Amino acid sequence: MKSTFFSLMMLSTLVILFVLPVNLAFARAFNNDFETGDLTDWEKEGTAFDFQPTWGDNPTARNRGQPSKHQGDWWLGLFEKYQGPDKGKALGQNPGGVQHDAPQGTLTSIEFKIIGAKMNFLIGGGNHAWGTPAPCCVNLEINGKVERTATGAATETMHRAEWDVSDLKGKVARLVVVDKNSGGWGHPNFDDVHQEAADGRNIPWDLVLAVDARGKLAVSWAQMKKYY
């Protein structure tokens, strides 16, 4: 009897997974602004991101005269070495601490589907473009190919930049923060990335990363079409 009941339960589960409409979805968050205080959802290579994200307006704390203008408490500032009054203090760090430009590395995000017309983000730091011998920049990659790239303007102060990604809709992408420069302004600053609808609204990341019961990315197109 128990064996029959178990078999029926398994059959019911299979029906739920394979027969129900594909827009049965659940959402997950993305650490798009580093407000977790760590690099959750990102994979680092090299040493440039060992003390990231940084906390607060550390450029002002070191009297740089170029406020970071970050969002929230945490952001990527590759010149900085201060991770806040709790974590930073425990590590022996002080406000205004720096790691300078020597460390190099990359930071790669989880995959996400492009469903917006644009992407916007805060960027600052060096202006060494992708394609130069020692870039420090932020790239949008699809299947390993750089489709969009941006740099700072040789100032610690970040500004809001955007990419038109309307021609990339439906493709699966990653963000890669690149620090391959150890010279002057050899670091990027980065924070608060969003996909943006045609009307200018930021699309919630839980919709961008909605998945169905079988683990497929962003299949709930009916729920998302209002952002087109």
Whether the model clears a pTM of 0.75, i.e. scores above it, the answer is: yes
Contact 69, 50 (CB under 8 A): no
d(CA 40, CA 1): 46
For residue 116, what pLDDT is reported? 96
In a domain, 35, yes or no: yes
d(CA 34, CA 78): 14
In a domain, 3, yes or no: no
Closest by alpha carbon to 158, among 40, 55, 76? Answer: 76
In a domain, 138, yes or no: yes
Q: How confident is the model at residue 167 (pLDDT cuts 50, 70, 90)?
A: very high
Res. 72: pLDDT tops 80: yes
In a domain, 12, yes or no: no
- Say how many domains are in the chain: 1
d(CA 146, CA 168): 12
For residue 212, what pLDDT is reported? 47
In a domain, 11, yes or no: no
Closest by alpha carbon to 123, among 162, 95, 84? Answer: 162
Contact 96, 84 (CB under 8 A): no
Lowest mean pLDDT among 3-7, 30-34, 60-64: 3-7
User: Residue 172: which residues within 8 A CB-CB, separation 6 or more?
Assistant: 111, 112, 113, 114, 142, 217
The range of the structural domain enclosing residue 95 comes to: 25-227
Six token digits for residue 29:
């968050």
For residue 194, the surrounding DSSP H or E stretch is: strand 188-196
Q: How confident is the model at residue 228 (pLDDT cuts 50, 70, 90)?
A: very low
What percentage of the chain has pLDDT greater than the value 70?
Answer: 80
In a domain, 7, yes or no: no
In a domain, 4, yes or no: no
Q: How confident is the model at residue 210 (pLDDT cuts 50, 70, 90)?
A: confident
Average pLDDT of the residues in 174-194: 98
In a domain, 19, yes or no: no
The domain that holds 204 is classified in CATH as 2.60.120.260
Contact 205, 121 (CB under 8 A): no
